[in-house]
Amino acid sequence: MFAVGVAPLVTYAWRHSSEVNSRVGEVSLLARAARSGEAPLAALDASLARHLLMFNVRGDANGRHHAPGRPLLDLVTGLGFLAGLGLLVWRRPRPESRFLLGALGLTLLPGMLAVDGPHAGRTIGAVAFACLIAAIGWSEVQRVGRLPRLALGVPVVVAAGLNAWTYFVAMPPDPQVWAASYPVETQMGVFVRALARERGEVKLPDVFVPGELARSEVFRFLASGLTTRTFESDETDRAPAGALVLLPGDPDGKNTLAALVLPSADLVPAVSGPPFPGRKTPSFVGYRRSPPE
């Protein structure tokens, strides 16, 4: 069964080796170090330090992967992980200890050799082993403390509560979380798609979208098959009278881009996108160019 599942991937990699390896070159830690003139060992040392601290001190900063900057393990699981890790190191002559330590190191290796670490996605394979090590740690605490077996349910319940609070209470309103998920591109793409559906056409020559935003993968996906016009930040005067010019909102409420282009353009607010979570600022604003007087 393993061979059946892996065969298509191996075949594709064999036939398209350049495509498979292109991403490797982009995210390689050593390749970036070489381009920037940084010593390879220094880059590896810094990456190793970040990954040693990611479970209990500071984790992934990307809000799409995890709560930004928070440890990848909650406090209870993290304490069990440290206890279990210490126990495995102490018992490293045992085969099971060597296996778990080796498996943890192996699953952390893709993240340590890549840029932008620690990266929760690239090290996701380490999650199962980290939780298993944490369970071993708490089991050892229960054994040494001669606590009843039912006492092991306490850290499990507390850990579940802490994780539920992190993912369902703390993260949703966090600007670093939703800002990392391309909210402007998403809402603008949804609006353009809805506008095309309302008109019953795929060509929207009177809709102007910022060029940088229109080139993003998120907008291109949501607006796939649709035709809109683009402009750069200082080119809103390209839009003819009656055209709808879409500008991104500013999560800080400053509407910086609009402030740059509107003083010299006869644009009137016409539509606005859903507001950013927890704020009144719209995700985007559509300005209609008024006809010349």
pLDDT tens string 11-35:
888 888 777 777 777 788 888 888 8
* Residues 225 and 130 placed together within one structural domain of the fold: no
Burial of 155 per CB tally in 10 Å (0-12, 13-18, 19+): buried
Parent domain of 189: 183-289
Structure tokens that stand for 258 in this block = 């609009």
* Residues 169 and 189 placed together within one structural domain of the fold: no
Q: 90-99, 122-131, 277-286: which range is least confident on average?
A: 277-286
pLDDT in tens, 79-100: 999 999 999 999 989 999 999 9
* Residues 170 and 193 placed together within one structural domain of the fold: no
Q: How far apart are CA 146 and CA 167, in angstroms?
A: 34
Q: With respect to residue 14, please indicate whether it lies within any of the assigned structural domains.
A: no
pLDDT in tens, 181-212: 898 999 999 999 999 999 998 898 889 998 88
Could you tell me which of 250, 280, 278 has the C-alpha nearest to residue 262? 250
* Residues 153 and 218 placed together within one structural domain of the fold: no
Structure tokens that stand for 209 in this block = 């979208």
Q: With respect to residue 154, please indicate whether it lies within any of the assigned structural domains.
A: yes
Which of these three, 174, 203, 233, is where a domain ends?
Answer: 174
Q: With respect to residue 28, please indicate whether it lies within any of the assigned structural domains.
A: no
Reported as a pLDDT band with limits 50, 70 and 90, residue 288 is confident
Which of these three, 174, 194, 210, is where a domain ends?
Answer: 174
